[in-house]
Amino acid sequence: METVPIWVQVLALFILILLSAFFSMTETALMAANRHRLRHLAKQGNRAAITILWLLDRTERLLSLVLIANTAINALATALVTALAIAAFGNHQHVITAATACVAGLLIIFAEIVPKVIGATYPERISLFTGFILKPLMRIAKPLIWFVNIFVSAVLKLLRIKVGARAREQRISPEELRSIVLEGGSFIPQKHKSILLNLFDLEKISVEDVMTPRAQVEALNLAAPIEDILHQLATCYHNKLPVFEGEINHIAGILHVRKTVSLFNREDEITHDDIRSLLSAPYYVPVETDVFTQLQYFQENHERLGIVVDEYGEVQGLVTLEDIIEEMIGEFTTSAPGSSGEGFGWDKEGACLLEGSTTLRDINKRLGLQLPLDGPKTINGLLLEYLQDIPEAQVAMKIAGCVIEIVQVQNQAIRMVKLIAPAQAAGDDAGASRLD
């Protein structure tokens, strides 16, 4: 070392630390890189992304290359600093110890911690830059990597670790994918994020949560006089109507209202049999069917409307393809006049007036509440379950932080309620759950 100028040795030490930092940063960046983003770039023809995916498919060889290079460089740097220290201060135990401590500090700070933090902060950017360097290095060092991996494979075999099988088993679960969407931040528009999250929820809710309840179903009764039937058809708001005879549980079929137009142009009298001849077979849906499965059933059976029935065959309501689509993307069709599907929200005083038939899911979504969904589906059902009797008007209670006041009761059901926002209710003296 005496024949080599000091400045050359210092320069060599600086280069060795830089190389060690490069491999440390590269190792962290490659392991932290988002493979889904890299695959997206690769599909767009990005050569750097294609190279990185090629390297990541050979993880064992890649890590061997990085660690062999890093270890060799660190050993050379340690030897060089020790030689410099001995040349300057003599061959003493304290000198060697001090030199080892100095080089260890340099490597830990400048060749390990700092570059690895940088690699973890910008993984894709650094990976795309270093891929073209590592690929030819891997080919050059292939014999050495092969020799080292013989021992590595033997150790892994003794430990019964199947690296390749483990890599193939890694998959993203629905909950992990949901978390990715939630953490998408500004990368995913809010509307797109809402649609994706609603899609994940389709398997968690049943058709009972999105159906039109039996009491709100507009249906045609063939037992009614023909004049009443024709008047209902002339003023009907829907394209399809369930048709029953005498009692709604006796469904005769589904009537396409458009098909009845030809009947009104006839000169002879229209009869019940004319209506009956236009009916198509009803499509029944079990009440416990989850919404995602029902969406698939609609697609497979080429249906758009189903009659929801319970375990006893009793009609509970009806569900349409539009109901499921609206559950995913939000309302987009026009609500029927007088229905509870019209928009609602808090007024300036923090109150909201609702029909008793309004579903709890809609209330939670629109008003940002946390009313329980594991029992009744409507606000009327929730209050009846809570009170265990038919309430009278001017009864109020606090559920999930929201004060609910019963405004109108009619025909053994709650017809109208008033909700007070939790922020407004917090100022009220509502220590008890029920306020009479």
Q: 36 versus 259: which is more confidently predicted? A: 259
Reply yes or no on whether the pLDDT at 184 is more than 90: no
The whole-number pLDDT of residue 175 equals: 73
The pLDDT confidence band at residue 334, using thresholds 50, 70 and 90, is low
The whole-number pLDDT of residue 185 equals: 62
The whole-number pLDDT of residue 318 equals: 92
Please choose, from the candidates 377, 235, 238, the residue with its C-alpha nearest in 3D space to the C-alpha of residue 320: 238
Residue with tokens 């609702």: 354
CB 408 within 8 A of CB 401: no
Q: Give 358-374 pLDDT, tens digit per residue.
A: 888 888 888 888 888 88
Residue 122 and residue 30: Cα distance in Å, rounded? Answer: 10
pLDDT mean over 330-342:
56
Name 410's bridge partners: 413
Q: 333 versus 214: which is more confidently predicted? A: 214
Query: Dihedral, CA atoms, 80, 83, 89, 90, nearest 10 degrees?
Result: 160
Lowest mean pLDDT among 62-66, 102-106, 266-270: 266-270
Both ends of the chain: CA-CA distance in Å? 96
Q: What percent of the chain has pLDDT over 70?
A: 89
Most confident of 1-15, 128-142, 295-309, 336-350: 295-309
Q: 234 versus 163: which is more confidently predicted? A: 234
The tokens for 194 are 């809402």
Strands 240-245, 220-221: pairing kind: parallel
Q: In order of start, what are the domains of the chain with their CATH numbers?
A: 6-169 (no CATH), 174-201 (no CATH), 207-329 (3.10.580.10), 351-435 (3.30.465.10)
Reply yes or no on whether the pLDDT at 286 is more than 90: yes
Residue 2 and residue 82: Cα distance in Å, rounded? Answer: 13
Query: Dihedral, CA atoms, 314, 316, 322, 328, nearest 10 degrees?
Result: -120
Residue 192 and residue 404: Cα distance in Å, rounded? Answer: 33
The whole-number pLDDT of residue 427 equals: 53
Residue 215 DSSP one-character state: G
The whole-number pLDDT of residue 426 equals: 54
Residue 343 and residue 339: Cα distance in Å, rounded? Answer: 10
Q: Which residues of 29-55 are buried (b: 16+ CB within 10 A; e: fewer)?
A: bbbbbeeeebeebbeeeeebbbbbbeb
Residue with tokens 């491999």: 23
Reply yes or no on whether the pLDDT at 166 is more than 50: no
Query: Dihedral, CA atoms, 41, 43, 45, 48, nearest 10 degrees?
Result: 40
Longest CA span, the chain: 123
Residue 45 DSSP one-character state: T
Reply yes or no on whether the pLDDT at 169 is more than 50: no
Residue 21 and residue 70: Cα distance in Å, rounded? Answer: 8
The whole-number pLDDT of residue 81 equals: 85
pLDDT mean over 402-422:
86
Reply yes or no on whether the pLDDT at 406 is more than 50: yes
DSSP H/E element including 397:
strand 395-399
* Mean of all residue pLDDT scores within the chain: 82
The whole-number pLDDT of residue 333 equals: 57
Q: Give 73-110 pLDDT, tens digit per residue.
A: 988 888 888 888 887 777 778 778 888 888 888 888 98
Residue 286, judged by CB atoms within 10 A of its CB (0-12, 13-18, 19+), counts as middle
Reply yes or no on whether the pLDDT at 178 is more than 80: no
Residue 224 DSSP one-character state: S
Residue 429 and residue 435: Cα distance in Å, rounded? Answer: 10
The whole-number pLDDT of residue 430 equals: 42
